[in-house]
């Protein structure tokens, strides 16, 4: 009896500590945080943080307990967002409630009635007060008893169109259009390498097909472009190796090493979307991208090239400086300074000495 009592006394505090620890756990490591387009589908399992009892099963939230929650940080709700859609399954019968919190405010509760099975998903909609800009979104599963596949916001103002694309290729795969409207061509423009496809669910994206095919080995891509400065986005997902150090490689652009010793698994883990962005100037009419293996095989899943943004600049010519005058230009603004005499803040003037 003493033994059983001591076990109980030890076990109860451990259970309490375990419950407290599990109340807020981060999602698996993903790529560097970036704004999430709320007007595109957000995979429910790609949450930033979560609390309570829930699991991820085959790419959906499952075994969701009462008052469990998931949070998605940095969701871009654009302007005039007033609707959320949630794709969910309720195989337990009866109704279950999902609260939608935006920016720390409970904006409404969506009721999900029975859908006829845990694998039978239906899209439910809820009208919200108008929401704008970057917001943190939290779903609170009041009653639990629900599986969730994805969520998506909508509104009265169309989201901005995708940036103009100079070159986009779904490496090793067929043509594909992403949820933001970017059209990737079938694989083209390559020299060397081999292709591989693994149609596994990819975390951290709603565009799984873009990360499921690849080219690997030592290879290169070339694209004829107008001489200009471009932003090159490379898409990666480690769908073959299951530990760090098994694949390490470099990426050269226009003959210069721009990415050194990239280990996709070390950056993002397995089956998780990871992207890099590099600005490069094309001066010879052709963009060349080369992948060089260091450990095992280099690889890439997709490539997108867009014109780089311009940098604002201005020039200023002082007005008729006089002999012996010192003029200091304040570069914090682009407005013309006042005439040099009398001096104004940011301008000092030294008059010439009087004649002897």
Sketch the domain layout of the chain as residue ranges: 23-155, 167-307
Give CA angle at 321 (319, 322), nearest 5°.
Answer: 145
Q: How far is CA 262 from the centre of its chain?
A: 18
User: In the block, which residue shows the tokens 């309490």?
Assistant: 16
pLDDT digits (tens, 9 = 90+) for 304-332: 999 986 433 334 444 565 666 665 555 44
pLDDT at 16: 36
Same-fold call for 23-155 versus 167-307 = yes
pLDDT at 180: 84
Q: How far is CA 235 from the centre of its chain?
A: 11
3 state DSSP class of 17: helix
| H-state helical runs in the chain | 2-22, 264-268
pLDDT at 80: 86
Asked if pLDDT for residue 111 goes beyond 90, the answer is yes
Asked if pLDDT for residue 74 goes beyond 60, the answer is yes
pLDDT at 155: 87
Cα–Cα dist 351/341, whole Å: 9
Q: How confident is the model at residue 95 (pLDDT cuts 50, 70, 90)?
A: very high
Higher local confidence (pLDDT), 351 or 299? 299
Q: How confident is the model at residue 340 (pLDDT cuts 50, 70, 90)?
A: very low
Cα–Cα dist 146/62, whole Å: 7
pLDDT at 320: 61
pLDDT digits (tens, 9 = 90+) for 123-134: 999 999 999 889
Cα–Cα dist 125/323, whole Å: 74
113: which residues sit within 8 A by CB, 6+ positions away? Answer: 90, 94, 95
First to last CA, the chain: 113
pLDDT digits (tens, 9 = 90+) for 168-194: 999 999 999 998 889 999 999 999 999
Class of CATH domain 23-155 = mainly beta
Cα–Cα dist 29/39, whole Å: 24
CA distances from 167 to 143, 171, 183, 188, 308 (A): 47, 12, 9, 10, 13
Check: CB of residue 64 under 8 Å from CB of residue 89.
no
Give CA angle at 150 (111, 46), nearest 5°.
Answer: 125
Asked if pLDDT for residue 55 goes beyond 60, the answer is yes
pLDDT at 179: 83
Higher local confidence (pLDDT), 62 or 338? 62
Q: Which CATH architecture has domain 167-307?
A: Sandwich (2.60)
Cα–Cα dist 95/86, whole Å: 15
């Amino acid at each position: 009896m003493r033994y059983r009592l001591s076990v109980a006394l030890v076990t109860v505090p451990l259970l309490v500590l375990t419950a407290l620890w599990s109340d807020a756990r981060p999602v698996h490591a993903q790529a560097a945080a970036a704004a999430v387009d709320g007007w595109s589908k957000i995979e429910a399992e790609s949450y930033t943080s979560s609390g309570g009892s829930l699991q991820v099963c085959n790419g959906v939230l499952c075994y969701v307990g009462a008052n469990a929650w998931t949070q998605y940080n940095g969701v871009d709700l654009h302007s005039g967002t007033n609707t959320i859609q949630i794709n969910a399954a309720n195989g337990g019968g009866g109704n279950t409630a999902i609260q939608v919190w935006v920016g720390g405010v409970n904006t409404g509760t969506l009721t999900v009635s029975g859908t006829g099975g845990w694998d039978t998903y239906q899209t439910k909609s809820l009208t919200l007060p108008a929401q704008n800009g970057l917001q943190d979104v939290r779903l609170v599963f009041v009653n639990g008893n629900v599986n969730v596949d994805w969520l998506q916001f909508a509104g009265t103002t169309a989201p901005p169109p995708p940036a103009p694309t100079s070159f986009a290729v779904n490496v090793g795969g067929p043509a594909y259009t992403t949820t933001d409207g970017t059209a990737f061509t079938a694989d083209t423009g390559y020299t060397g390498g081999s292709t591989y496809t693994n149609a596994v669910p990819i975390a951290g994206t709603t565009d799984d097909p873009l990360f499921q095919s690849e080219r690997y080995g030592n290879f290169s891509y070339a694209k004829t472009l107008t001489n200009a400065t471009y932003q090159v986005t490379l898409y990666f997902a480690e769908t073959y190796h299951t530990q760090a150090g098994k694949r390490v490689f470099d990426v050269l652009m226009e003959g210069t090493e721009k990415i050194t010793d990239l280990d996709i698994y070390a950056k993002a883990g397995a089956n998780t979307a990871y992207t890099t962005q590099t600005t490069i100037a094309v001066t010879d009419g052709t963009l060349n991208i080369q992948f060089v293996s260091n450990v095992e095989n280099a690889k890439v899943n997709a490539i997108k090239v867009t014109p780089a943004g311009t940098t604002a600049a201005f020039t200023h010519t002082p007005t008729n400086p006089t002999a012996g005058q010192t003029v200091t230009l304040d570069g914090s603004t682009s407005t013309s300074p006042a005439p040099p005499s009398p001096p104004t803040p940011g301008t000092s003037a030294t008059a010439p000495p009087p004649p002897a």
